[in-house]
Amino acid sequence: MAKTEVILTSNIVGLGAESDQVRVAAGYARNYLFPQRLAIPLTHVNKRRIDSLKQRRAEREAHEFNTMAELAKGVAKLVCIVQVKTGEDGKIFGAVTAGTIADQLKNQFDISLDKRKIHLEHPIHTLGDHDVELKLHAEVAATLKVRVESTTPLPAPPEAPAPEGRREERPERRGRRKETPGETAAKPGAEKTEGGERKPRAVKAERTPRGEKTVRTEKAPKAEKTANPAKSEKPE
């Protein structure tokens, strides 16, 4: 395959930057680089443009450095939320990749970032917070916090049994007032029970003092029988 030398007029990832002299396939230069004005043929006339291309390159790199440095400060304060579907055991379906993070940065914060600048050692397979390294520039790096959340509602945990409270004291019966120990002790003639409370003694009937006779009520006199006239009157 024929090769040709060209001078790059723009930054091409993986190939070079402005003012670089590179060898590429003749067909690639003829069909792509030259029509897109990304390179010019290496000639004596075009070599004079190398100095101006180097100046353009220096200005571009300084602008990119300042832009990425400001972006690094802003990204460090952000939390990129990625929502995924999970199973009942909490495991996510699939994985979170650099492309997924780049899409969420665009959707949530309107930040356009090449996914090749998002460096993941391996795709994310677990929920929670993850620190992701960003290589924004050759001299600028940043750390982005990515929070992976589940869109699947988790099953409700079983309710714990309520602790047994103290048994409520039964209300006293109406019409009966509970006596305090002090009141019971103050009553004369009270006897102590097993629980310490005093039990009132039964009141005995008053005895009649000796030497005094009880007064008996006289019975009403019986009515006198009516005399029989026949018996009382004797013939003379």
Q: What is the pLDDT of residue 94?
A: 86
| 62-99 burial: b if 16+ Cβ within 10 Å, else e | eeeeeebeebbeebeeeebebebebeeeeebeeebebe
Q: What is the mean pLDDT of the chain?
A: 78
For the chain, the structural domain boundaries read: 3-69, 72-150
Helix (H, G, I), strand (E, B) or coil at 82: strand
CA distance 143 to 72: 8
Domains 3-69 and 72-150 belong to one CATH topology: no
Report the share of the chain in percent with pLDDT over 70: 64
Q: Which residues, in sequence order, are CB contacts of 132 under 8 Å at separation 6+?
A: 101, 118, 119, 120, 143, 144, 145, 146
Q: Do the strands 39-41 and 3-8 form a parallel or antiparallel pair, or are they unpaired?
A: antiparallel
- For domain 3-69, which architecture applies? 3-Layer(aba) Sandwich (3.40)
Instruction: Identify which of 48, 52, 230, 28 has the alpha carbon closest to the alpha carbon of residue 39.
Output: 28
CATH number of this structure's domain 72-150: 3.10.430.100
Mean pLDDT of 101-115: 93
Q: What is the pLDDT of residue 6?
A: 94
Q: What is the pLDDT of residue 129?
A: 94
pTM above 0.85, yes or no: no
Find the helix or strand (DSSP H, E) in which 15 lies.
Answer: none
Mean pLDDT of 93-111: 93
Q: Tens of pLDDT along 45-58?
A: 888 889 999 999 99
Helix (H, G, I), strand (E, B) or coil at 7: strand
Q: Is the pLDDT assigned to residue 95 strictly greater than 60?
A: yes
